[in-house]
Amino acid sequence: PQKKKKQKLPKSPAPHFAMPPIHEDNLEKI
Amino acid sequence: LKDAPVSELHDLLCKKLQQCSIVFDFLDCVADLKGKEIKRAALNELVECVATNRGILIEPLYPEIIKMISVNIFRILPPSENPEFDPEEDEPNLEPSWPHLQLVYEFFLRFLESPDFQPSVAKRYIDQKFVLMLLELFDSEDPREREYLKTILHRVYGKFLGLRAYIRKQCNNIFLRFIYETEHFNGVAELLEILGSIINGFALPLKAEHKQFLVRVLIPLHSVKSLSIFHAQLAYCVVQFLEKDATLTEHVIRGLLKYWPKTCTQKEVMLLGEIEEILDVIEPSQFVKIQEPLFKQVARCIASPHFQVAERALYFWNNEYILSLVEDNCHGAPYHLRHALPRLQGALE
């Protein structure tokens, strides 16, 4: 049987220290 | 403060702020105990007041607030007594004035996060000079202080669009001085955590300035002796970049291979871990470009006399995605690539 290929991770898992992203275009309402 | 009528609140706030602008000597822990307690209580009141009240942050208060904060936090950091200070082994020197300093930082954070906070007013006082002094505090040996500074700078970066380029530039300078001159700065990990959230928010296509930062700062950072202290944050920043722009993959992998540690097996294990994180998110089209130089290095690691290095390299074969990438490139691979993979076979044997 064709082995189900593991796909690449859609997005790397955020580590515990990851902070909320700050979007380059606009002012962040934090 | 909480009992004062609204009409007198602002005056009282001003007086409390001036009162808290007196800095005490905590090196002599018995001096001025009464005064220290009065200031601690006043700071507590200020934190409570800003955290709970709405509509109290009127414009005239901003300079008083920033003055009180500046007087307390901006100081010459004590030189690290032990020049051989090993952040991994030795306990850090904690800030003696922490009982006050913590509340000042707490107050600063509540001020920034208050719904009434107006960057347009604050930017007269939170300017480039202020931010530069804030960044210098990241060299503090006290991890509690750096934790507050990290959150505060993250908020400042988020709220002051006009300061963003300057903050990035100054972080650049700190890292370059750290890499090529001093190899000593306590806040590298915290700054990288903030940068991780900034990279995560980059618009596409990436600006040349940002790519330069990856090439000129993030990759050379791998060469520093104290890599282990900030490697997790550094690897996260690198992976964030590749998730933003996969075309940077070849440059990153060749950069890591160029800085591959020759004599430090602990660093080798860290870099193998980073390589796997990168391979987890790599595009197959990028994998083909880097597999030959990469697996030459992986083969050397498999044959390493240090068991942890060999083990970590062999662990790649526990990753199904890496296996599928290698498999896809074994059969139909052009002639010269087929030679790269058999070298692995030799190492495995």
Cis peptide before B92 (omega within 30 of 0): no
CB distance B160 to B123 below 8 Å: yes
Instruction: Please calculate the CA angle B27-B32-B37 and round it to the nearest 5 degrees.
Output: 100
The tens digit of pLDDT for each residue in A3-30 reads: 455 677 777 788 999 999 999 986 554 4
Q: Distance between CA atoms of A1 and A15, rounded to whole angstroms? A: 36
ipTM (interface pTM):
0.85
The DSSP call for residue A20 is P
The number of C-alpha atoms within 13 Å of B306 and in the hemisphere containing its C-beta is 14
Place of tokens 């940002």: B210
Instruction: Please calculate the CA angle B287-B290-B295 and round it to the nearest 5 degrees.
Output: 100
Place of tokens 């790649």: B316
| Residue A13, min C-alpha distance to chain B (Å) | 10
Span B304-328, average pLDDT: 93
Q: Distance between CA atoms of B268 and B264, rounded to whole angstroms? A: 7
The tens digit of pLDDT for each residue in B179-238 reads: 999 999 999 999 999 999 999 999 999 999 999 999 999 999 999 999 999 999 999 999
What is the full DSSP assignment across B79-134? PPS-TT--TTTSPPPPPTTHHHHHHHHHHHHHHHH-TT--HHHHTTTS-HHHHHHH
Tell whether A24 lies on the interface with B, counting CB pairs under 8 A. yes
Tell whether B152 lies on the interface with A, counting CB pairs under 8 A. no
Pick the range with the lowest mean pLDDT from A6-10, B64-68, B289-293: A6-10
Please name the member of A8, A15, A22 whose beta carbon is closest to the beta carbon of B236.
Answer: A15
What is the full DSSP assignment across B27-48? SSTTTTHHHHHHHHHHHHHHHH
CB distance B208 to A29 below 8 Å: no
Predicted confidence at residue A1, as pLDDT, reads 45
Q: Is the pLDDT of residue B281 over 90?
A: yes
Question: Would the CA dihedral through B181, B187, B188, B194 be positive or negative?
Answer: negative
Q: Which of B154, B161, B192, B200 to mutate to test the interface with A (most CBs of A within 10 A)?
A: B200
Tell whether A2 lies on the interface with B, counting CB pairs under 8 A. no
Cβ under 8 Å to B: A residues 4-23: 5-9, 11-12, 15, 17-23
Residues on chain B touching A25 (C-beta within 8 angstroms): 203
Q: Between B327 and B204, where is the model more confident?
A: B204
Q: How confident is the model at residue B337 (pLDDT cuts 50, 70, 90)?
A: low
Predicted confidence at residue B349, as pLDDT, reads 80
Please name the member of B155, B236, B324 whose beta carbon is closest to the beta carbon of A5.
Answer: B324
Place of tokens 């930062």: B213
Q: Do B243 and A28 touch (CB under 8 A)?
A: no
The three-class DSSP label of residue B264 is coil
Q: Distance between CA atoms of B113 and B153, rounded to whole angstroms? A: 12
Structure tokens at B343: 């070298």
Please name the member of B203, B236, B324 whose beta carbon is closest to the beta carbon of A18.
Answer: B236
Structure tokens at B247: 């075309």
